[in-house]
Amino acid sequence: MQQARRKIATYRIATVACLFVVLLNTWIAGRAVATLFQAEHWLAHTLEVLTQTQATLFEVSSANNNVRAYMLTGDPQYSERFAKAQKGLEEDLDRLQADTSDSKTQQARIRTLRSRVAVRMEAMESVINLHRRVNGSTLDQSLVAPALNESPDGGISVRYALQQIENEERRLLDQRTRDASSARRNVIFSVISATVLDIVLLLLAFELMVRAQRSRLALADRAEVIAKLNADLQATNATLEERVQERTRELQVSNQELEAFSYSVSHDLRAPLRTIDGFSLALKEDFSEILNEEGQDYINRVRNGVQRMGSLIDALLQLSRVTRSEVQRERVDLSQLATNVFNELQAAEPDREVQWVAQPGVQVLADPRLIRIALENLIGNAWKFTSRTPSPRIEFGSSLRDEQTVYFIRDNGAGFDMYYVDRLFTAFQRLHGDRDFKGSGIGLATVSRIIRRHHGNISAESQVGLGATFYFSLGA
């Protein structure tokens, strides 16, 4: 995936670089074409000025020829043509001045030309006026010849002034012809370079497209392989899930059979146990006089063993009922329930003075019957293990641990070694001998099952001789 991302980034950079090069080539080619258009424009402009120069010269010659014709024939149409040529000449000069507005030198020469044309036209008009005054008489050619010369006042001639302008325009024509040729070469070079470069970029883009297509095909193949692996994995998971469900059902059936067997055995053992207890009691009461002290001790031991076995059977039956019964949750005042359990223990042994501290108002959602069995075992253990403490104290309350509400039963009794804490909630595992504190070893196992059935956890902390604290939580 990381390699594919690097390839995509490379393709993007290459695309941007290609676009930049194409835009740069387009700009260079456009600039060369614009330069060519400008050179062609100035070239055409110069040719137009030259044409206009020739037209001006033609108008001057036409005016001169019409004056001469008028002098020879006296025909008035020639004087009219002269006037027309004179007018056209003024228009040509205006147009010529407008066309050379970009050159100050040419503007100065045109002003000179305009003054020379004015002198020449004025001389020709004077000849025409003189011919009209003599009214058909022969004029002395020596008088009119100076007026018909190229330079009537002796200055530079109109032809010479036009030649100066024409020479300048021809110089510009040569220069602009060279500029236009250079611009054409630049355009041709730019177009050829851009074309070649575009072809190279197109080939590069085609190569990148081919590589990208190959990468997509490779990714598609990988995706197909991954999809197949996922399908196989889902099929395997489904098979495993079916096996787990099957094993769970088998385990539940086995547990139910085992619990039913334990319940049945425990229940069936009570009948012969009651028989042993009854006959041992009858033996003690009816034959105590003929039994010596050793015989009575044996009978007492038999009865103690029977009663202990009865307690164990009761504990096993209770553990079985806890496992088999359904959890019916409802709101329970845990503080009041714990206080009731403690009061019952106090009523059973009124001679003991135990300090009871309970946090009021602790409310929980739990099965009231099961949670009472759990409190009876926990508070009963605290009551039992504080029996040899000078100032016994038992405390109930709640607190927050790891952002979760936990409930605790704390005492200052005998405590236990934390090294054996893992054995604490296992059935028939006892951390104190029967001579020190009597018990079945099933009570905390029963509490642990009740808490697990409420989706909670139970733990304990203790120090030998400093008491113990049992924490438990109740899940939703």
Cα–Cα distances in angstroms (integers) from residue 117 to residues 124, 250, 407, in the given order? 10, 130, 126
Q: Please check the confidence at residue 1 and state whether its pLDDT lies above 70.
A: no
Q: Give tens-digit pLDDT for 356-367.
A: 999 999 999 999
CA nearest to 377, candidates 451, 304, 308, 307: 451
Cα separation of 413 and 394, whole Å?
9
Q: Give tens-digit pLDDT for 256-279.
A: 777 777 777 777 777 888 888 888
pLDDT band at 423 (very low <50, low <70, confident <90, very high): confident
Cα separation of 136 and 120, whole Å?
23
DSSP letters for 140-176: PHHHHTGGGSS-TTSS--HHHHHHHHHHHHHHHHHHH
**427 DSSP assignment:** T
Q: What is the pLDDT of residue 200?
A: 86
Q: Give tens-digit pLDDT for 355-404.
A: 999 999 999 999 998 899 999 999 998 998 898 889 999 999 999 888 88
Q: What is the mean pLDDT of residues 294-299?
A: 86
Q: Where are the alpha helices (DSSP H) in 74-139?
A: 76-99, 104-134
**Whether the Cβ atoms of residue 411 and residue 467 lie closer than 8 Å to each other:** yes
Cα separation of 72 and 47, whole Å?
37
The angle subtended at Cα 112 by Cα 106 and Cα 117, nearest 5°, is: 120
Q: What is the pLDDT of residue 433?
A: 66
49 HSE (CA, 13 A, CB side):
29
Q: What is the pLDDT of residue 382?
A: 92
Cα–Cα distances in angstroms (integers) from residue 28 to residues 99, 167, 194, 223, 323, in the given order? 31, 35, 9, 46, 91
Q: Give tens-digit pLDDT for 225-236.
A: 999 999 999 999
Put the strands of the sheet holding 355-358 in their side by side order.
355-358, 393-401, 404-411, 468-472, 458-462
Neighbours of 47 (CB within 10 A): 14
Length of the chain, in residues: 476
Higher per-residue confidence, 51 vs 323: 51
Q: What is the mean pLDDT of residues 33-61?
A: 89
